[in-house]
């Protein structure tokens, strides 16, 4: 069972907590003996798509590249955690269609909270007009319609959010065991 690959796609606004939750989830899965890769949107963009900007077409091209890589990793037994804004439903629908074992996690964080966090200073620049295509400010973020789970980071800590995702993965049959505070618990 530990060689079954699948993709957990964390989507949400910049600063919502996607990558931070992804890192916590990665740690839990690795502690249980799974092979895991975290594809952080910023890092993947630097490596796979340095030629692209942030127009809708460029974002779609980048998302398609990430879908291809994710599908390839999952096909080879690696749990792939994707932390990517993927602001348009059509991008995520494409991912769901192309990736057999796809789990969408909506990291639902209010825009105001993301603006307060602003770890990269992007919202500040967007609000000053220095960035003109910021998702959530000038460019839309289309919330998922039917994600497998929704994480509200203004209600749950990073660790609680990762645990909620682990429980959902167990419910969906992707992991037969979960880790609670470092203790492995077998599924019923």
Q: What share of the chain is helix, strand, coil (3-state, %, to 5)?
A: 45, 20, 40
Q: Which of 72, 125, 64 is nearest to 95 (CA)?
A: 64
Tokens of 128: 């000053």
Over its length of 188 residues, how does the chain's per-residue pLDDT go in tens digits?
Answer: 467 899 999 999 999 999 999 999 999 999 999 999 999 988 888 888 888 878 888 888 888 999 999 999 999 999 999 999 999 999 999 999 999 999 999 999 998 998 898 888 888 888 888 988 888 888 889 999 999 999 999 899 999 999 999 999 999 999 986 655 544 444 44
Domains located in the chain, CATH noted: 7-176 (3.40.50.300)
Give CA–CA dist 14/45, Å, rounded.
Answer: 14
Burial class of residue 1, CB neighbours in 10 A (0-12, 13-18, 19+): exposed
């Amino acid at each position: 069972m530990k060689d079954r690959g699948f993709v957990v796609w964390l989507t949400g606004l910049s600063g919502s907590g996607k990558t931070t939750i992804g890192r916590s989830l990665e740690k839990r899965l690795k502690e249980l003996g799974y092979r895991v890769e975290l594809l952080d949107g910023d890092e993947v963009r630097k490596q796979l798509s340095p030629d692209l900007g942030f127009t809708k077409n460029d974002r779609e091209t980048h998302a398609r590249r990430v879908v291809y890589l994710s599908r390839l990793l999952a096909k080879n037994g690696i749990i792939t955690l994707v932390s990517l804004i993927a602001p348009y439903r059509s991008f995520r629908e494409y991912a769901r269609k192309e990736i057999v074992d796809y789990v969408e996690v909506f990291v639902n964080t209010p825009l105001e909270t993301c603006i307060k966090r602003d770890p990269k200073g992007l919202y500040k620049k967007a609000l000053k007009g220095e960035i003109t295509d910021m998702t959530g400010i000038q460019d839309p973020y289309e919330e998922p319609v039917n994600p497998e789970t929704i994480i509200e980071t203004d209600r749950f800590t990073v660790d609680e959010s990762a645990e909620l995702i682990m429980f959902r993965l167990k419910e969906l049959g992707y992991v037969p065991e979960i880790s609670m505070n470092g203790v492995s618990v077998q599924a019923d």
